[in-house]
Amino acid sequence: MLFAALWLRQQRSQRRLDVEMRRRTADADAEVAALRDRLAEAARRERLIAEEAAHLAENRLPAMAKALRHPHVRVPAARYPELLDGPGGKAFELVLAGVSSAVLGERRRVDGAAQAAMRGATTKLQTMCYQLQTTVDDMLHKYDDPELAEKLAGLDYLNEQILRRLQVTRVVCGAGAGLVRTASPLRALVMGASSRIPSYERVQIVDHLPEPVAVADRAAEPVAIVIAELMANAVHHSHGSLPVEVSLHQAHNGAVVVINDAGIGMNADEFGRARRLLSGKEDIHLAELGDPPRSGFAAIGEMCRQYGVAVSVEPSHYAGVKAVVFIPSELLTPVTEEPPIPAPVSRPAPAGPAVAPAPAAAADDPPALPQRRNRRASDPAPAASGGVGGPANRAFRDPDEAAARMGALQRGTARGRAAEPGSAPEHDSERDSR
């Protein structure tokens, strides 16, 4: 009996030991399986992090750098969003933000240095162009030679275009227009702006203002630059046989200049970019203006921001582009007595019978000579011949006619000076204030 009792106790102990061993074995197996799963997960996440790092370097960072120059470019998202909440994903986002900040800072530094260099260069060039204008004016008054006068007129016309490009570059680079003017009649500003662009003869200007208004001195030159740039854009993007319509209108709180062309229009993206630039709310970077630089809209936006002028663009009725320049009333002053409108310099016109009567009349009556305003001969056109007519529909004299009379004007001026030795040629105050 004792042996049987001991055997039973031993069997019970063995069973308990076997159960404990099986439990321990199961626990060990479970721990091994858990470790194996954790190792597999770690290996998987390591692979995902490696692939995410490659995605960051190959796709996200280059796209981010491009998006800083072109806002329409989309930066790819993370390839594995599950990593974003972990330390690896957060580290990748920090890298993206840090590189973006560093690139922006470097771009600003480099662009600022480039703009400073451009400001210095354009200032010197602009001064030289003004000196050239003075020399041309002096020669026009000194020499009584129609052929020379025509060539000097062409030189002055080319110099005006160079000055316009220099002014636009200065504005884009953070400087002023580099010119101070007195208050100027709006229609005279518009006509003068047309003389600064190529193919100005295609510009048709009509004045619908019920009463003449002038642009205040602080905004006169910026408004002239804005209108000249929009005219140049319209002429450049339309066929050489198509006119560009420019009209002046009164608004309830200011004045409006509308520039319509029948040229190449813009798509929705181009209109969007143009409106952003014209708003003046975006920072201007030289590298974003293209090659060659397209700085017109950027310069217009900067001047609109500084002076309170507003410019909008939309499709025109001719499938081209219509630009509307709004000049608020605080930049306008009334004109009690409007001076004659200076005609733009034209290309040299051949001498002919049409020019002959002008010098005789000028020689007979030297005080009645057309006065030199804004560096050009001015001569109000009669209403019967399509000149400045009633207040509802004022048109301007043909620029080619002004060019044809320039030689006669210089001869008459020389005779007038000969008749009055003590007199000096009259210069426009705008010219002298440059």
- Domain boundary assignment for the chain: 12-85, 184-334+382-397
Q: Classify 140 as helix, strand or coil.
A: helix
Cα(263)–Cα(318) distance, integer angstroms: 8
Question: Computed from CA positions of residues 298, 178, 399, 157, in that sequence, does the dihedral angle turn out positive or negative?
Answer: negative
Distance of CA 18 to the CA centre of its chain: 89
Of residues 98, 95, 101, the one with CA closest to residue 52: 95
- Looking at 3.90.1170.50, 2.40.50.100, 3.30.565.10, 3.90.1170.30, the CATH number of the domain 184-334+382-397 comes to 3.30.565.10
Query: Can you give the pTM of this predicted structure?
Result: 0.62
- Residues contacting residue 333 through CB under 8 Å, at least 6 positions apart: 183, 213, 214, 215, 216
Question: DSSP letters of 225-264?
Answer: HHHHHHHHHHHHTS-TTS-EEEEEEEETTEEEEEEE--S-
Cα(246)–Cα(257) distance, integer angstroms: 7
Query: What are the pLDDT tens digits along the chain (434 aa)?
Result: 677 777 777 777 777 777 778 888 888 888 888 888 888 888 888 888 888 888 888 888 888 888 887 777 888 888 888 887 878 788 888 888 888 888 888 888 888 888 888 888 888 888 898 899 899 988 988 888 888 888 888 888 888 888 888 888 888 888 877 777 788 899 999 998 888 888 888 899 999 999 899 999 889 999 999 999 999 999 988 888 889 999 999 998 999 999 999 888 888 888 888 898 898 887 777 777 777 778 889 899 998 998 899 999 999 888 889 999 999 999 998 886 655 554 444 333 333 333 333 333 333 333 733 333 444 333 333 333 333 333 333 333 343 444 444 444 444 444 444 444 443 333 333 323 22
Six token digits for residue 85: 């909440």
User: How many residues comprise the chain?
Assistant: 434
* pLDDT (0 to 100) of residue 332: 93
Cα(381)–Cα(405) distance, integer angstroms: 12
Give the burial class of 214: count Cβ atoms within 10 A of its Cβ; 0-12 exposed, 13-18 middle, 19 or more buried: buried
Cα(115)–Cα(321) distance, integer angstroms: 30
* Pairing status of strand 321-328 against strand 254-260: antiparallel
